[in-house]
Amino acid sequence: MRRHSALWIAALAGDLLLASSSRAQTPAPPDHTATYLADSLRLSGRPWHAAETLLAAARRDPNPNAFLIVEGAKAEVQAKRYEHARALLAGQPWLLDYLDGEALAVLAQAEFGVGRFAEAAVHFQMARARAPAARVPLLAVRAGLAFDAAGQADSAAAAFAAARAGGGLASIDTWLRVRQARVTRDTAAASQLVADVPPPAARDVPVARARSLLLAGDTTRAIEAFAKAGKGLDAARLALATGDSARARTLLYSLLTRDPLSDDAAAGVGLALGPLPPRAPDEHVAMARALNRRSSVRDARIHVEHALRAGDSSAATLFLYGELLVSSGLLRDAVRAYVAAARDSAARPLAIYRRARVLVRLGDSTAIPALSGFSYSYPADSAAPGALYILADMQDGRDDWAQASRWYTELIARYPSDQRASLARFRLAAHAESVGHPDSAAVLYQSEIDAAGPQRTAARFWLGKMAAARGDSEKARATWLALAHEDSLGYYGMRARRETSLPPLAFSAPVVTTTPPPQVSAGLARIDTLLLAGLDSEAQVEVRVVLARPPTELDALLAWSEGLGLRGFGSAGVRLGWQAALLAPGDTRVLRAIFPWPNRAAVEAEAQEFGVDALLLAALVRQESVFDVEALSPAGARGLAQLLPSTASLMARGLDVTFYPEWITVPDLNLHLGAAHLAELLRRFGRMDAAIAAYNAGPTPVRRWLDRAGATDPDRFIELIPYPETRGYVRSLLRNRELYRALYP
């Protein structure tokens, strides 16, 4: 119920549903500038700022009007500050009489947000009794969800049945039938409810049947049903509750082994730490995998050591142990773990390679023969080119250019089409230029082009720079003009455009389609209804269905792309934009679908507040999260600007902003902190390319890269960034910035 509270609040305000014409019990809105400003902020995608505005207004007013309090509570809910919203509304004497149950509904959503499900259910029901007809079914669904979360199955079933009555929510009836079935004690009635449910709602039918069996008291069949439905944690908990600890153990550790990084596995760790502790070696390993990256690495390592002491000497366990030891900084122990893993002939190449990588980190002199020996012993292994590149890069970092050149050259000779050979050519070329051998550099750049390497457009750009450096402006211009034409939307094509003083990139005005195709309108309306009803997971499924079976018509693809982007499903919208590019790659509408700007007003406002270029901030959000408000990276970065909780907290303290980790995905708060972070990096480094690199890789390595020879030249600095991800990130962001300039004049 949390992802799209903005839609729900908008519905309460009458933006998406017809409100009652009766306003008999509505307090007159005060003449407060704050309320109008907050409304404007909400409409521009800035709920956190709206909440802060109303909170400040309430502090200034010793006797705030009910209207101001309710509007403040709405803004707090939209900003995910549920406890604040609840505190504003709970106990107000006018609560029951305010605007057709509107205040009751806002209070209920706030209570649901803080886990007070029983209270939320009661208040949703009370709001439903006062609401206009159009809102009644939605409030019934919300009440059903709250009753279900509170463990009141019969009340939940009645609420879902009421929501279905009258057909007001016909577009989502299949989903409601499944919800009703899962809280129905009569298994025959539950089976009848879901008998002919079509996809995609059919995917939840097995769990609904299992829940119904459990409510009916048939625990044996319920355990089997949960297990078959892939709900191993539910099955394990139920088996444990019935005294079948052996079955519970089997189910739990099967889950931890099969999907150790899933949410269910995270919850299952609690069982493993409590009533079902690991005993057998394989159980300790499963526990370690579930703990790894989620809890203390030390705890995971202890479990692997239990398994090793119990006789588990498999290569897979030793690899896991080595990984955990490296994460713990116990590098010498990790070397020994990989030596032990190498006893398994099938695992030997990987074990030797990993051991060599650890030796590099240790600065051990045996790292060089270890890496070179690996590359010669296993030339066909996919890691062999990497071993040679690491050798060269290590020697390069030690300023031993003779040895670095040797290994770069060998890498190119043995694996000419490998991506790392491309990097090696550029390292060699940069050095050749720096020591006054431009002809050697030109040969290397040309070899990248001849090999159709991944950096061939970069090589063409650098050939142009070299021609310009030796005074051959005609050849430089010809090289860059051709590149600007052939790679017009790429980073180096845009750089070539600037070097030749071509006019900025521009596109024809897109043809505006005002009405989406009927099937798209119906699909988006169904997703809206699910979100308004609090059925976020079901809405996500509907989005995945569109991605799995996208329409084949251009207009339909573009309408879906825009519609999903506006609803916060940015990455899904962009994926459909790429599908549209297969049909009309040069269409401006397609480019806007691939590079959208769904919350432009909010981005521009945050950029202006911190003195950051709005185009750069838009480019950053596009690269970081694809405008997906709930985006989560493997490293734990969250939200539009992909901030780590630690970074967000640090920025909030510096800005004197109240911050809790659960607020990190509030769109404008995330943008606020992200823009502040970007502004701080721009001030620290004084140049855009370095600040962008630091946003991705952190300030410490960037300071080191700036100390390298030639780093004052932005082109050379970017080219020699040693982290492939960061190098690509900087290029992409600078390219995105130019595309946003052209697409959104």
- Residues with active-site annotation: 624
Q: How many helices (H) and strands (E) does the chain have?
A: 42, 0
**Secondary structure (H, E, C), 261-299:** CCHHHHHHHHHHHCCCCCCCHHHHHHHHHHHCCCCCHHH
Q: Rounded to an integer, what distance in angstroms lies between the CA atom of residue 603 and that of residue 727?
A: 25
Opening angle at CA 285, ends 282 and 289, nearest 5:
140
Q: DSSP string covering 685-719, please?
A: HSSHHHHHHHHHH-HHHHHHHHTSTTTTSHHHHHH
Q: Rounded to an integer, what distance in angstroms lies between the CA atom of residue 72 and that of residue 99?
A: 15
For the chain, the 3-state helix, strand and coil shares in percent, each to the nearest 5, are: 70, 0, 30
Phi-psi region of 329 (alpha: psi -120 to 50; beta: other; left: phi over 0): left
- Residue 620 tokens read as 């950053």
- Residue 670 tokens read as 């995330």
Q: Rounded to an integer, what distance in angstroms lies between the CA atom of residue 700 and that of residue 515?
A: 50
Closest CA to 105 of 83, 81, 79, 136: 136
Upstream peptide bond of 29 is cis (omega within 30 degrees of 0): no
Instruction: List the beta bridge partners of residue 471.
Output: none
Q: Rounded to an integer, what distance in angstroms lies between the CA atom of residue 37 and that of residue 44?
A: 11
Return the CA Rg of the chain: 30
Give the type of residue at 529: T
Beta-carbon count within 10 A of 262 CB: 15
Task: Spell out a b/e string for 630-660, using b for 16 or more CB atoms within 10 Å of the CB, else e.
Answer: bbeeeeebbbbbbbeeebbbbbbeeeebebe
What are the Cα distances from residue 389, in Å, to 404, 575, 631?
A: 9, 34, 33
Instruction: List the beta bridge partners of residue 638.
Output: 632, 643
Opening angle at CA 562, ends 557 and 566, nearest 5:
150
* Dihedral pair phi/psi, residue 643, rounded to 5°: -100, 140
- Residue 237 tokens read as 């908990």
Q: Rounded to an integer, what distance in angstroms lies between the CA atom of residue 69 and that of residue 75?
A: 10
